[in-house]
Structure 1
């Protein structure tokens, strides 16, 4: 095959002197449209008499860039690169300064989740004042509060309680430990061992009557419902209900997270504050303890400035105004304060979702401006 190529080269170019010239061409069998291999013979390629072979010039490969071209290209890239801060200061060092007395623009962007808690605290206060004027809302919250009481009284897991009592723990203490640790037997057992010498271990949880006073509770309730309380104004009744709901959702730290963080050397009060700020999430609490400890525990119950443009814009929204008169909105706000992860659930609710959407939109609009 190479010999045929040389002969074809001779016919085409009239010279066999340059043996490299054959490397720039290839032979093609016209009938089968296949390229003949230089490593094979005519017989191996099954070439017959009268077959037509085409001599075709190979496509020249692109030349490799020279070092000078590479250097020039890199230099061009460096010239087109945007200047950094130091380069700008160096280039403008000799220029006079203007507008140096202009106030610096605040560039930090507030986080919605951080501000949402403050907004909810302030909106809860407004909603309480509005709902206190509605007698139907008072009755509704009374029923809801009674249902929550019944739910708390009957939610102890009997199997878990039996495990603890069989270990020798008193039933009242075991019940309290299970309620504090969300029916987790291992965590309840750790809590009982840890608080065995605590003088307040036998005291009832907030909102629950002690075992000895269970029979006296109905009489006390009937006395409270006497003529003196019938003359009370609805705002007072509603305030007491709100206080009871708040007592029910008092923070309860995860016993295991408390022990783990205290083993790292942190003080118990610091650990409790960290877990409260970070909703019992151990890793986030650890980062809070090791960081700047923002927000502080005191800031959790602080509302937004009532005279701020953001809060005024939220209150001026008609959807928010209408939602604040709905008792379900107030319950949603209270639940989101206690369980921030439930915000998505309330955003999808047909009654509370539009209110939350308007709060978010108002915040985003004012935050950009």
Structure 2
């Protein structure tokens, strides 16, 4: 500590004797140590000013920073010079690295005329009392509310949870069929049950059962469609030209067994003869059951696939034909279709 005290006292005497308006480069040429243990350094300020001085290698880097601050900016604290130096640092230009303030110059491996850049340290932002609250992560509800209007992109579609298997549409259809069965049992006890049945069948046939138009059949067969395809389309679409053409062009229908469907539709057209035949021993309830079964089969033929669900299941490795067969049976239900494909043959939706 004695060399440092001696150095500071000599520097103070020189500073007080020197006029403050004179050039600082001439007033701060202080011999801090003996010439045989000194080193000449070039200290550069942030503004580009250069201070060349001889300094002893036994002083600390923090002491050198204090002296440089006084030289360039007239900043000094004689009582505690290290406190002022804490907000500044010296950076070796040649090595591009800062010098540790707690080491002596001899340990810094400096050479004569090395350049040291005096720079101010980055000031850290004081921690406010509310920082703990401001850095708290938002809750899931806050995230949902903040992103409610943002459109989702590149998100993977999740498989619907298993509890969605019995959705409202399926349940309502089951209720509807149950009401038909109960109503048929109640009406079967009436004397005019046969008349009621004929009225019901007549209304259904007027909407569902039609004879294919021969002119339209010829028109579509000339386009390249098979006769079986055309018969099915005309019967299902009730001879509507536009809807028939759309059904024929729909790739979803290319997997159908046309021969068996034509046979079924022909039998369905003869449903009136079968159920109204006096020799038939069918009860009123049995006749209604035949109509319900026929309606279910017709509905499956005129089925619309959910192509998004089709693509999801195809990504699992199943063929498109298998996927569409499963979706036709399970009414586009992804969960039940997957069960059906892996061998767990669940009942059909209408059952």
**TM bracket (short chain):** 0.3 to 0.5
TM-score calculated relative to the size of structure 2:
0.38
Structure with more contact order per residue of length (Cα contacts < 8 Å, sep ≥ 6): 1
Larger Rg: 2
Which of the pair is proportionally richer in helix?
1
